[in-house]
Amino acid sequence: MKFSSIGYLIKEGFRSIKQNGFMSVASILVLVSCLLLSGAAYLVFVNVEAGFDYAYDQNKAIVWAVETADDQALNVLENNLRGMNNVQDVFFRSKEDTLANYAGVVGDATFESLQGEDNPMLDGFEVTFKDLALFDETIQLIESLENVDDISYAEDVADTLVVIRQTVLTIAAWIILMLLLVSLFIISNTIKLTVYSRRLEIGIMKSVGATKMFIRFPFMVEGMVLGFAAGLLSFGVLYFVYTYLISSLSLGFITLANLSTIGMLGMPVWAELLVCFLLIGTLTGMLGSRHAIGRYLKEESGVNID
Amino acid sequence: MIEFRGVHKTYDNGTKALKDVNINIDKGEFVFIVGASGAGKSTFLKLIMREEVPNAGEVIVNGYKLSKLKRREIPYLRRTMGIVFQDFRLIPTMTVFDNVAFAMRVTGASKREVRKRVPYILGLVGLQNKARNFPQELSGGEQQRVSLARALVNNPSLIIADEPTGNIDPEMSYEIMELLTEINRRGTTILVVTHEHDLVQAFSRRVIVIDDGTVVSDVAGTAEPPAASAPSAGNAVVADVLDTIQDVPTEKESDTVDAVLADIIGRNGGDEQ
Ligand SMILES: Nc1ncnc2c1ncn2[C@@H]1O[C@H](COP(=O)(O)OP(=O)(O)OP(=O)(O)O)[C@@H](O)[C@H]1O
Ligand SMILES: [Mg+2]
C-alpha cells in the first residue's frame, strides 16, 4: 500500500459511514451504552475511593502517657513524637479534656465526682500520620518511646477499610473489563453485519488486485471514527448526568466527589475519563472492524465468474 | 505467457471440471475459448487468476508457477491482468468513474493519473457521459463496458474476458472485439470466452474448444499477425478439426465451419437455459 493511497482510503472510510448510516448509528449506540456503564462503574469507584480517603484522614492514634508522667516527661514525649518521620501533627489532650469529652457524651452528672484528683483519665497526645501504609511501623516505634502507657487506634477500622477498598477496586475492574469485552464482541458483530452485506464488494476488490491492507484500511478508519464519536458522546452524557446529580440533588449522607481531584492515572478524573473513553472507543472500533472483515479477506476466491 | 501442464481440477463436491489440460498461450496471442455450458471454461480462467488451485499439474503465468505463489503475492499477480466478468462485478456503491478508478487506486496510482486516465478509458468504451452514474442506473451492455474499461485501465499485459459481449447488441459486440483486436495489436495477450460463433468466425483467431473438462481442439487463427488474410483457408482448417469432435453431428451442413460452430455453440446456448 502506497502512502499516496492513504488520503483516498480515509475518504472511503467516511463514505462507508454515510453509506451504512443505520449501522453506523447502531454501532455508536452499542459502544456508548458499554462505555457509559464502564464509566459509571469507574465513577462509583472514584467516589468510594474519595470516601475512604476521607475516612483515612480521620485516622489517627491517641498516645496515652503513663500516669506518673510529669510536665517535663510530657514535653519530652511530645518532642519525640513530633520528631518522627511519619507524624503529621500532634495535639495535647489533657485528662481534663478527655473527661469533659466523655461527660459531654454520657451526661454531666455521672462525672461530677471524678473531677480533680479523682480523675481516672490519662494525659495523652492525638497523633495524625502522614502515610497510612506505615501505620503499623509507626505504632511500634511509638510503643518503644519512654513514658507511653498505651496507644488507642482503630486498627480494625483501618484494616477493614483496606479490605473493602481492595474489593471495590477488584469488582469495578472486573465490571469494566467485562463490559469492554462485551462491547468489543457486539461492535465486531455489528460491523460484521455491514461487512456481510459487502462481501461481494470485498470479493470484487480482491479480484482486481487489492491487497488485504487496502481493503481493510477503510473499514478500520470507519471503526475508529465511530469509536471516537462514541467515546466523545459517552463522555458528554456521563459528564452532564454526573454534574446534574451533584448540583441539583441533595443526596444526604452520600458524598459525590466533585471530580476535580487527581484520578488513577495521575490526571484530573474528568480528563482521565475523556482520554480513556476516546482511546477505548477508537481501539474497540478499529479492532472490532478488523476482526469483522478478517474472515472475508481469508476466503480464497471472493468472486465467482460464470 | 500462460502454460497449463497436465492440469486436473476436481471441485470439493467431486465434479471433475478439468482433466489433463495442456495448453500454451504465448505473449501477444488472441485466443477464443469456446465450449458447452459446464465444460470448464470459467474454471480454466479461475486457475489463471489463482482463484482456484489445480489438484494436479502446474499453471504458469508470466513465468511464475502459481503453486509457488504466496498468498500476499496474489494481488500483484491479478494486477497484471484485466478481467472482464460475465456478470460485470461492479461495486454497486461506487460510480462508474470510481469503479474504473478503483483498479488504478489499488496499485497506488496518484489522483492526477486517475483523473487523466479514467475519462480516456471511459471514452474508449463510449461511456464518457456516464462517469457520474451508478451501475444500477446503466443498461446491461453499459455495465459490461464499465467492466471492460476497468479491465483495460491499468494497461495489463493480459486481458481475460468471460463472455464480454453477452449483453451487447451485435454492432456493439463488433466494436468491442475491434477494440480488443486493437489492444492486442499493441502486444497485449487476450483470452475471450464466448458463445457467439459470428464473432469467432469474423475474427479468425486461435480457437480452443473445451468439452467436458478436456481440450478437444486447439486451432491457430489465420488473422495473426493481423492482416487481410483469406478467411476461408483458416476456416477450412477449423472445420477440419471441428469435424473430429465427438457428438458433433457431421451429417448436416458440416462442410462449412459456420455450420459446425453454429451447431456447437447453438447446442451450448441451449444447455445454458
Ligand atoms: N465452485 C464449484 N464447486 C463445485 N463445482 C463447480 C464449481 N464451479 C464450477 N463447478 C462445476 O465445474 C464444472 C465446470 O464449470 P465451469 O464454471 O468451469 O463451466 P463453464 O464452461 O464456465 O460453463 P458456462 O459456459 O455455463 O459458464 C461444472 O460442472 C460446474 O458445475
Ligand atoms: Mg463460465
Q: What is the CATH number of the domain that holds B86?
A: 3.40.50.300
Hey, is A282 helix, strand or coil?
helix
Residue A139 backbone class (left: φ over 0; alpha: ψ -120 to 50; beta: rest): alpha
Could you tell me which chain A residue has the CA closest to the CA of B193?
A306
Sequence-distant (≥ 6) Cβ neighbours of residue B124 within 8 angstroms:
B149, B152, B179
- Identify the DSSP state of B165: T
Q: C-alpha angle A96/A97/A100, rounded to 5°?
A: 85
Q: Establish whether the linkage from the previous residue to B119 is cis, with ω within 30° of 0.
A: no
Instruction: Cell 513530633: give the residue.
Output: A82
Per-residue pLDDT of chain A (306 residues; tens, 9 = 90+): 667 788 888 888 888 888 877 878 888 888 898 888 888 888 877 777 766 666 665 567 888 888 888 888 889 999 998 888 888 889 888 888 877 776 665 556 666 667 777 777 888 898 888 776 677 788 888 888 888 888 877 655 666 667 777 787 788 888 888 887 887 787 777 777 777 767 888 888 888 889 888 988 888 898 899 999 999 999 999 988 888 877 766 554 445 555 555 555 556 778 888 998 999 899 988 888 888 787 777 765 544 433
Q: Which atom of ligand 1 is nearest to the CA of B13?
A: 4
**Residue B178 placed within a domain:** yes
Please tell me which residue of chain A has the smallest CA distance to B150: A208
> Total domain count for chain B?
1
B273 Cβ below 6 A of ligand 1: no
The answer as to whether B64 is a domain residue is: no
Q: Do B52 and A1 touch (CB under 8 A)?
A: no
Domains (range + CATH), chain A: 5-55+160-301 (no CATH), 60-153 (3.30.70.3040)
Does B62 fall in a domain?
Answer: no
Ligand 1 atom at minimal distance to the Cα of residue B46: 18
d(CA A107, CA A93): 20
Q: Looking at CA atoms only, how far is residue B194 from chain A in angstroms?
A: 12
Question: Per the CB < 8 Å rule, is A210 touching B90?
Answer: no
Nearest 10 degrees: Cα torsion A281, A282, A288, A293: 150
Q: Which ligand is nearest to the CA of B273?
A: 1
Of residues A7, A9, A16, the one with CA closest to residue A213:
A9
How far apart CA B87 and CA B94 sit, in angstroms, is: 16
Spacing, Cα B271 to ligand 1 middle (Å): 13
CA B126, CA B130: separation in Å to the nearest integer?
9
Contact A205 B45 (CB under 8 A): no
Q: What is the reported pTM?
A: 0.67
In a domain, B197, yes or no: yes
ipTM, interface predicted TM-score of the complex: 0.73
B92 upstream amide cis, omega within 30 of 0:
no
Domain that holds residue B104: 29-37+80-204+215-265
> Cα separation of A117 and A115, whole Å?
7
- Around Cβ B94, how many Cβ atoms within 10 Å? 19
In sequence order, the 6+-apart residues with CB closer than 8 A to the CB of B26 are B1, B189
Alpha helices, H only, chain B: 41-49, 74-79, 96-105, 111-124, 140-152, 170-185, 197-203, 231-244, 257-272
Total residues found in chain A within this entry: 306
Asked whether B156 lines ligand 1 (CB < 6 A), one says no
**Grid coordinates representing B42?**
470459467
Residue nearest to atom 25 of ligand 1 (CA): B37
Question: Across the interface, do A205 and B91 touch by the CB < 8 Å criterion?
Answer: yes
Cβ(B171) to ligand 1 under 6 A?
no
B35 in ligand 1 pocket by Cβ < 6 Å? yes
Q: In this predicted model, what pLDDT tens digit does every residue of B79-125 receive, in sequence order?
A: 999 999 888 889 998 999 999 999 999 988 888 999 999 999 999 88
C-alpha grid cell, residue A133: 501504609
Contact between chains at B106 and A306 (C-beta distance less than 8 A): no
